[in-house]
Structure 1
């Protein structure tokens, strides 16, 4: 399994960066997770729009799904139309981004599927398990298993006991860490810290931890230091171009 970070900014893309977006590949099958702002140009440096086999969206905030629109445009309006793209997301999460275009323009370019918490499904060579995790909108934590390897992804989430189950013995945990050590009170139930991500990774026995969704234009060092207080494994920040081979 190969995981390539297209972007890892939270909220909006910093200069030269992109928001959440991750390309996961195994046996030639390509899954795009969370096509957030500015991820499509980075994706197209690695694959054509037609080569993406499936899309998984953790939740409907635009920093996690806005570039689904240009991806579908590229597939619908290209010279050769590929098969309809399976797109998995929580029910209703993509309503706003899909309204950016006349439905007739994108007709036949994708097939929507609702992500149902706690219901596993198969996509290509991957088994996908899902967890409902607390956020401002419905958010699905995702665990992809393929070729004997496991990648777990939190989406955006507040503190939750389920995070340890999501990440249990994963080869890679991609964890939201918007703030280094403390989330402002009004967002505390809905967002996470690098400190919390480190604790989750340690409790779950994770082999590698990538911190993502850091606030734009903030340095990575405080987040890394906070996570390292409880997690002693392989640790880095998810910035564009980072690739992990599992």
Structure 2
């Protein structure tokens, strides 16, 4: 299993960057996770739009799904004309982005609702999901394939179930919008690098990749905050980062 980071910027894409976007490959099967703002141009450097086999979306905020629209347009209007794309997301999460181009969406997508505690097969992967706290319904994702496990939080506030999501994972990809403290009313709905480090340590995750840092945030404070409780392999998700499990 191989993960390639297409973007990891939170909220909006800073200059030269993209928001959340991750390509996971195993046994020739390509899954695109959270195609946020500016992800598609980065993806197309690695694979054609028609070569994506499935899309997983944790929640309906546009920094996690806006580039589903140009991906579908590239598939529908390009020369290859692939079959409809299986897209997995919480119920209703993609209504707004699919309405941007309803005609192409209707024929270009096979929708699947992500239901917590209901395991799915997505190509060669087993997909398990957890409902995690955010401003909108958010699905934590756990992909298993070839004896390896990648867990991804999407955007989430503190939750005991995060440890279950990440239990013994080979890689935990964790939202870490702020290094130490989430300000004010967002505290129940977003996470810090310090919290991600504690989760990874408690879960026994082999690697921790911090993502969704607030635009303009330097990586060093986030890494230092996570490292106080987590002693495993640690990095910040940046465009082009590749992790082979």
TM range (shorter): over 0.9
CA drift of 1:79 comes to 1.9
Deviations 1:168-204 (A, max 9, x none): 0000000000000000121000000000000000000
TM-score by length of 2: 0.99
Q: Measure, in 1, the Cα distance between the counterparts of 2:196 and 2:106.
A: 40
CA drift of 1:164 comes to 0.2
SS in 2 for 1:151: strand
Deviations 1:203-225 (A, max 9, x none): 00010000000001110000000
The residue aligned with 1:110 is 109
Aligned pairs (5 A) from 1:65-80? 65-80=65-80
Q: Measure, in 2, the Cα distance between the counterparts of 1:87 and 1:174.
A: 20
* Equivalent residues of 2:35, 2:64 under 8 A apart: yes
Uncovered stretches (5+) of structure 1, i.e. residues with no partner: none
The residue aligned with 1:93 is 93
Q: Measure, in 1, the Cα distance between the counterparts of 2:166 and 2:156.
A: 13
TM-score by length of 1: 0.99
Uncovered stretches (5+) of structure 2, i.e. residues with no partner: none
User: Is 1:242 matched up with 2:235?
Assistant: no
The residue aligned with 1:133 is 132
Worse overlay, 198-207 or 109-118 = 109-118
Worse overlay, 71-80 or 214-223 = 71-80
Q: Measure, in 2, the Cα distance between the counterparts of 1:118 and 1:10.
A: 27
CA drift of 1:80 comes to 2.6
* Equivalent residues of 2:176, 2:222 under 8 A apart: yes
Q: Measure, in 1, the Cα distance between the counterparts of 2:160 and 2:4.
A: 27
The residue aligned with 2:25 is 25
* Equivalent residues of 1:8, 1:213 under 8 A apart: yes
* Equivalent residues of 2:72, 2:104 under 8 A apart: no
Count matched residues: 245
Q: Measure, in 1, the Cα distance between the counterparts of 2:105 and 2:58.
A: 21
Q: Measure, in 2, the Cα distance between the counterparts of 1:202 and 1:104.
A: 46
Deviations 1:140-168 (A, max 9, x none): 00000000000000000000000000000
For the aligned residues, what is the CA RMSD? 0.6
Deviations 1:50-71 (A, max 9, x none): 0000000000000000000000
